[in-house]
Structure 1
């Protein structure tokens, strides 16, 4: 029994010499030198413990043992190449978490752009709050997350910054003397926390009138005329208007969109670059 595996490069060199009948032509086919091919064959013969080729200054031909080994060598190389081809065709999976405050109505177009970048990439997307997604990322349940700035963290790659405002239904009116009614996402939403902090700092009394499980639910509450929500303009329900100036509410800052990823190179990284570029275009648009 052979104790160590065969060197596939040496096996390939042997097959080329046998097929072409020449060390020189085999070296040209393998894009290497004749000396390198000779060394590979010598080591293969030493590993097998037999002479595979008979060579003279005028010809090269298979030995009896070489004739027997040639078919097995070809089968070995074919299986190896088939395995590599199957691996290359296999879809790589990329699990991405996107904050509900980031995903927005452009998500189908963003997914399409990633697919166009690499149709063979299997994309798994989870929508949630930034805090929950970051926890999943830290538990290595997600390869990448695209989230808003989260309190207590200063890591992540800046993708873009986005303007926020105070939005309500066009005919909604704030009742004088009552706290500002806010429609928000459930904790641990970072936008919810920031909005409350800014109102508190400005001395504006407020109360939660609606808590939704996502931006779509919050937008529905705004459309229904329940109150005001802190939203990015591209997330607005149809007809909503910015009431910040009319109600003398404090200005909301531009909020960053951050990319956290363990993907450093290869096809998935190219797809992430396309996704980041698409987000920047959506925010500017």
Structure 2
């Protein structure tokens, strides 16, 4: 018979480790240290009398008992949050801007992560170019933005540095006697400007063949065989091919992703920390 109640912080630590696959990311999500997260997990495992996480130098995986406990752990925290919601006042609101070059296929999972961290938080997300979002942030129209590094800005928290490449559809071939056809985002777009400057510096003739209002549209043009585009592999549909080496195109740099935030409220900051940690994990896998 279990006598002592479970430590909810320890249960939360276990869930973060299991879902993010990393003690480091779990610590970032909880705004604490890796040592503190490890201690919370140990106390929980001691309390339950079994190992929940199998940890090696290269991987973090659920044990069989941990996999069985995960859904129960989630349900426990959800019940706790519902109980607290009875006494909560008006819903808090968090308005986040995310660059279209950053908001990849993981976005639904990232939103779910924030909701799980704080179900009573009203989340509003706007997608746009990094430049436009930073202007809105500076006008205090957004609480937080996640954007590519922008010229003239050296503030913000570094979340990741993502690789970029020249991608095309699987059957696309370039005619050597024609300028390189490039699919880009509409202005203003820092990646568009960067790619054009790098091609010009390398003396590669090019022309815009397609201008899209979002990365999804540009990726669709690439897969339709219109031309190439400078994109992060994480953003690509299955089947896209890196043609940079074959066409002897100049290398593209890794581009930083930065978090800018003025959020002060503790619970909102916890939800934002969970979002940042989840994004880092997604970018590392991509």
TM-score, scaled relative to structure 1: 0.68
1:183: which partner in 2? Answer: 183
Q: Which runs of 4+ in 1 moved over 3 A?
A: 85-89
- Does structure 2 retain, via aligned residues, the 8 Å contact 1:222–1:237? no
Q: Distance in 2 between matches of 1:274 and 1:177?
A: 50
CA distance in 2: counterparts of 1:198 and 1:276, whole angstroms = 30
Partner of 1:257: 257
Matching of residue 147 in structure 1 with residue 147 in structure 2: yes
Instruction: Give the secondary-structure state (helix, strand or coil) at the position aligned to 2:246.
Output: coil
SS in 2 for 1:116: helix
- Quote the RMSD (CA, aligned, Å): 1.4
The residue matched to 2:244 in structure 1 has which SS?
A: coil
1:102 is matched with: 102
> Gapped runs of 5+ residues in structure 1?
1-84
Quote the Cα distance in structure 2 between the aligned partners of 1:87 and 1:99: 36
Separation in 2, partners of 1:186, 1:155 = 25
Superposed CA deviations along residues 171-224 of structure 1, whole A, max 9, x for unmatched, are 100111211110000111011111111111111111111000000000010011
Are positions 1:248 and 2:248 aligned together?
yes
Q: Cα deviations across residues 43-86 of structure 1 (Å, max 9, x unaligned)? A: xxxxxxxxxxxxxxxxxxxxxxxxxxxxxxxxxxxxxxxxxx98
CA distance in 1 between counterparts of 2:265 and 2:254 reads 30
Give the conservation status (yes or no) of the 8 Å contact 1:102–1:147. Answer: yes
Q: Greater CA radius of gyration, 1 or 2?
A: 1
- Taking the aligned partners of 1:228 and 1:99, their CA distance within structure 2 comes to 21
Q: Which residue is equivalent to 1:29?
A: none
Deviation at residue 88 of structure 1 after TM alignment: 3.5
Could you say which residue in structure 2 is the equivalent of 1:31? Answer: none
For 2:135 and 2:86, the matched residues in 1 are separated by 34
The residue number in structure 1 matching 2:234 is 234
Structure 2 portions without partners, runs of 5+ = 1-84
SS in 2 for 1:246: helix
Cα displacement (A) at 1:227 = 0.2
> What SS does the aligned partner of 2:150 have?
coil
- The 5-angstrom pairing of residues 1-285 of structure 1 reads 88-285=88-285
Contact conserved, 1:114 with 1:275, CA < 8 A, in 2?
A: yes
Q: C-alpha separation between the residues in 2 aligned to 1:93 and 1:265?
A: 10
Q: Measure, in 2, the Cα distance between the counterparts of 1:198 and 1:273.
A: 35
Q: Which has the higher contact order (CA 8 A, sep 6+)?
A: 2
Q: Secondary structure at the match of 1:245?
A: helix
**Contact 1:146 / 1:260 at 8 angstroms: preserved in 2?**
yes
Structure 2: distance between partners of 1:140 and 1:227:
39
- 1:94 deviation in Å? 0.1
- Is 1:134–1:145's contact at 8 Å kept on the other side of the alignment? yes
> Size of the alignment, in residue pairs?
201
Q: CA deviation at 1:87?
A: 7.9
* Maintained 8 Å contact 1:163/1:232: yes
- SS of the equivalent of 2:167 reads strand
